[in-house]
């Protein structure tokens, strides 16, 4: 070893730095020309809670690593409460932050905080959170991370989450309110709180409902009478270290075996794209991703069997094993999710019936790119409306009289109407879902009860229960 490197080795050997930001390399002090310098890893300084959650009666303790001589100071919402090794959460500590500081040599060398709640807690870190909240549009996803803190009911790691997510705003009228709702997309499918594996979830703010109960109660009653409804769990939400309020963590309405269990054309598009890609015998994941996106957004190939992509034609029908099944589902009108909404015109696939009922084809989102599929759903929905509005309750299809009760699942229609009337909820304005499966129209999932049960919201219309009952209006 030359003189310059012997001096550097000696200088580094005289320094031992322990910090919470990383590992420190320490080189031997007595290296000679024939000796080899050694590297020793010094443990990173850190503090972590030993408890999965912080609810009333829980004795909190921490593990401190990277340092031997230290003391602890406990705080609740910034007020010092203890210098003991542990701290027991009281009822008064609920809905507050508990912070522990590690002190050594008269200085705070590490700290950690936890939010005290009897509910699960979502910790979301999103650098662009303010930018997202100030945006008039909520079409853009922003990168974030989310860690879910369970409670006494939810302790299994597989039902919680700790990892990357994407987040964006959601809602129509509610997006303009102070407490905003959000859509979450997890990095991987997770069985959140035991509600079934999925990437897609929503955080409902319930800002217009001071009780926070209307959506939950309506969904519970709907499921009790056999209606399709989304599961949910109440949670507390912390974003970038700041408490943002109580939210309802809920399943996102979409086609899935745990949600709306019908045929999924968009999944078929992905599978068909994979079959085409495999038949090419190439290895280009970016090409495969582009092809999948294209085939989900341009559904014409589902009728022709041929996809035109980036200057080439690919015979999907000859390489996709489930081609015959796909064609059968199209012919039997299986796999369409709709929303009745006055905002339907903003969506890629929308339609208006002869009686000016506006609907958006939620899934598959780009149904309008396939004339056959779009005409099929338009015809079916118009036939149903014609039958409903006729004096006989029927319409003529291919020369045969068909009653509206033969075109829909009457149990779901009656159940949906019962929930709407019982909870005095609007029907036909927004957030009314229905789906078409194997030539049968079904009503649900029930959704959006912020205005229900006579909720009086300053500046917003409130439903007149007597008007709904006495006049029997579809859209109250």
pLDDT, tens digit, for every residue of 303-345?
A: 999 999 999 999 999 999 999 999 999 999 999 999 998 775 6
Single out the residue of 328, 309, 324 nearest to residue 376, CA to CA. 328
Task: Give the confidence band of 196 by pLDDT, cuts at 50, 70, 90.
Answer: very high
Tokens 């809905």 belong to which residue?
Answer: 95
Task: Determine the straight-line distance between the first and last CA of the chain, rounded to whole angstroms.
Answer: 89
Is pLDDT above 70 for 353?
Answer: yes
| pLDDT at 431 (0 to 100) | 82
Superfamily of domain 46-115 in CATH is: Immunoglobulins (2.60.40.10)
Percent of the chain residues past pLDDT 90, beyond the cut: 75
Is pLDDT above 50 for 147?
Answer: yes
Is pLDDT above 60 for 426?
Answer: yes
Which whole number is the average pLDDT over 80-98? Answer: 96
| pLDDT at 345 (0 to 100) | 65
| pLDDT at 457 (0 to 100) | 61
| pLDDT at 343 (0 to 100) | 72
Task: Give the confidence band of 450 by pLDDT, cuts at 50, 70, 90.
Answer: confident
Residue 321, helix vs strand vs coil: coil
The mean predicted confidence, pLDDT, of the chain is 87
Single out the residue of 467, 266, 443, 471 nearest to residue 365, CA to CA. 266
- What torsion do the CA atoms of 284, 285, 291, 297 make, to the nearest 10 degrees? -160
The region of weakest confidence among 86-90, 341-345, 357-361 is 341-345
Which whole number is the average pLDDT over 136-146? Answer: 90
| pLDDT at 455 (0 to 100) | 78
- Which residues, at least 6 apart from 170, have a Cβ–Cβ distance to it below 8 Å? 138, 181, 182, 183, 202
Percent of the chain residues past pLDDT 70, beyond the cut: 86
| pLDDT at 425 (0 to 100) | 84
Alpha-helix runs per DSSP H in 281-397: 285-297, 301-304, 316-319, 323-331, 371-389
Strand 336-340 and strand 358-363: pairing?
Answer: antiparallel
Which whole number is the average pLDDT over 188-202? Answer: 97
Cα distances from 474 to residues 116, 373, 427, in angstroms, run 45, 27, 6
- Which residues, at least 6 apart from 190, have a Cβ–Cβ distance to it below 8 Å? 158, 159, 161, 197, 198, 199
Q: What backbone phi and psi angles, to 5 degrees, belong to 251?
A: -60, 140
| pLDDT at 463 (0 to 100) | 53
Strand 312-315 and strand 242-251: pairing?
Answer: unpaired
| pLDDT at 32 (0 to 100) | 39
| pLDDT at 31 (0 to 100) | 38
Single out the residue of 96, 186, 205, 189 nearest to residue 147, CA to CA. 186
**How many other C-beta atoms are found inside a 10 Å radius of the C-beta of residue 454?**
11
Q: What is the pLDDT of residues 239-285, one digit of tens each?
A: 999 999 999 999 999 999 999 999 999 999 999 999 999 999 999 99
Tell me how far apart the alpha carbons of residues 164 and 186 are, in angstroms, rounded to a whole number.
7
| pLDDT at 273 (0 to 100) | 98
The region of weakest confidence among 51-55, 207-211, 385-389, 401-405 is 207-211
Q: Which residues pair with 137 in a beta bridge?
A: none
| pLDDT at 138 (0 to 100) | 79
Residue 473, helix vs strand vs coil: coil
The region of weakest confidence among 71-75, 171-175, 279-283 is 171-175
Instruction: Say if residue 364 is preceded by a cis peptide, omega within 30 of 0.
Output: yes
| pLDDT at 99 (0 to 100) | 97
- Where are the CATH 2.60.40.10 domain residues in the chain? 46-115
- What torsion do the CA atoms of 471, 445, 206, 161 make, to the nearest 10 degrees? 180
Tell me how far apart the alpha carbons of residues 374 and 292 are, in angstroms, rounded to a whole number.
21
Is pLDDT above 50 for 429?
Answer: yes
């Amino acid at each position: 070893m030359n003189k310059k490197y012997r001096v550097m080795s000696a200088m580094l050997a005289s320094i031992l730095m322990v910090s919470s930001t990383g590992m420190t390399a320490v080189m031997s002090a007595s290296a000679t020309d024939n000796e080899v310098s050694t590297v020793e890893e010094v443990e990173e300084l850190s503090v972590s809670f030993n408890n999965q959650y912080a609810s009333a009666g829980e004795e909190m303790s921490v593990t401190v690593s990277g340092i031997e001589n230290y003391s602890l100071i406990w705080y609740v919402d910034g007020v010092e409460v203890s210098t003991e090794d542990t701290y027991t959460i009281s009822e008064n500590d609920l809905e507050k932050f508990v912070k522990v500081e590690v002190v050594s040599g008269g200085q705070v060398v590490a700290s950690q905080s936890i939010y005290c709640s009897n509910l699960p807690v979502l910790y979301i870190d999103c650098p662009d959170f303010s930018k997202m909240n100030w945006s008039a549009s909520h079409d853009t996803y922003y990168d974030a991370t989310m860690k879910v803190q369970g409670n006494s009911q939810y302790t299994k790691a597989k039902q919680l989450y700790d990892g990357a997510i994407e987040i964006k705003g959601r809602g129509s009228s509610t997006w303009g309110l102070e407490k905003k709702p959000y859509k979450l997309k997890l990095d991987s499918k997770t069985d959140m709180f035991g509600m079934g594996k999925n990437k897609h979830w929503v955080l409902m703010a319930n800002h217009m409902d001071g009780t926070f109960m209307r959506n939950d109660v309506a969904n519970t009653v709907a499921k009790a009478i056999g209606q399709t409804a989304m599961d949910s769990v109440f949670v507390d939400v912390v974003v970038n270290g700041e408490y943002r309020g109580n939210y309802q963590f809920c399943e996102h309405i979409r086609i899935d075996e745990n949600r709306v269990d019908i045929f999924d054309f968009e999944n078929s598009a992905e599978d068909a794209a994979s079959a085409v890609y495999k038949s090419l015998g190439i290895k280009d994941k970016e090409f495969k991703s582009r092809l999948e996106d294209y085939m989900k957004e341009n559904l014409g190939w589902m009728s022709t069997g041929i996809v035109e992509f980036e200057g080439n034609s690919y015979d999907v029908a000859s390489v996709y094993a489930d081609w015959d099944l796909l064609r059968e589902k199209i012919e039997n009108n299986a796999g369409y999710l709709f929303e009745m909404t006055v905002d339907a015109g903003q969506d890629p696939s929308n339609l208006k019936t002869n009686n000016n009922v506006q609907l958006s084809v939620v899934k598959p989102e780009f149904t309008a790119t396939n004339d056959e599929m779009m005409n099929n759903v338009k015809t079916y929905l118009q036939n149903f409306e014609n039958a409903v509005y006729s004096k006989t309750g029927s319409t003529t299809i291919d020369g045969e009289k068909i009653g509206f009760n033969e075109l829909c699942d009457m149990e779901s229609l009656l159940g949906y109407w019962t929930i709407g009337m019982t909870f005095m909820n609007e029907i036909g304005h927004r957030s009314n879902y229905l789906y078409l499966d194997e030539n049968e129209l079904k009503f649900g999932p029930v959704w959006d009860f912020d205005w229900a049960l006579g909720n009086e919201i300053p500046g917003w219309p409130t439903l007149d229960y007597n008007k709904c009952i006495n006049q029997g209006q579809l859209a109250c």
